[in-house]
Amino acid sequence: MVEASHAIIENAELVSALKFCETAQLGAGFAILHVGEEAVWLLLHFWLPGGIVSRHLWYTEIGTHEFKPAPDHLMACLWELAVIDFERRAWMETALAGRPISEYFSRTLPAQPV
């Protein structure tokens, strides 16, 4: 599953479809791969200027590895929101505080239930 999600992120057609070249990215972001009750979810986030985070979401049926774009109205489940909150706090405490983005990259979510 990790390999399939990695391939999705690197897929040139996907990158083109997300218009990364037209987005003023800051070279930082995070991904969440979550095996949920109804599907496997891949959430990809990139930090943009002004403290904005972009969101891209795909899913695949449990037992398959064919990710598809999720409907636009979906964002995240409550378990994924804990990871998003960790990343938000890490971004605020590092990049938005004027510290190097490398400090943001060094932050890790403790291995514990969320």
User: Token pair for residue 22?
Assistant: 């037209």
The number of folded domains in the chain is 1
Q: Which residue segment(s) compose the domain that 42 sits in?
A: 2-106
Of residues 71 and 6, the one with the higher pLDDT is 71
Q: Is the pLDDT of residue 23 over 90?
A: no
User: Token pair for residue 38?
Assistant: 């109804």
Domain for residue 14, yes or no? yes
Encoded amino acid at 112, one letter: Q
Q: Is the pLDDT of residue 57 over 70?
A: yes
- Residue 105: predicted pLDDT: 96
How many CB atoms are closer than 10 A to CB 26?
14
Give the global pTM: 0.81
Domain for residue 114, yes or no? no
Spatial distance between the Cα atoms of 61 and 38, rounded to a whole number of angstroms: 7
Residues linked to residue 45 through DSSP beta bridges, in sequence order = 30, 55
Q: Is the pLDDT of residue 109 over 80?
A: yes
- Residue 50: predicted pLDDT: 87
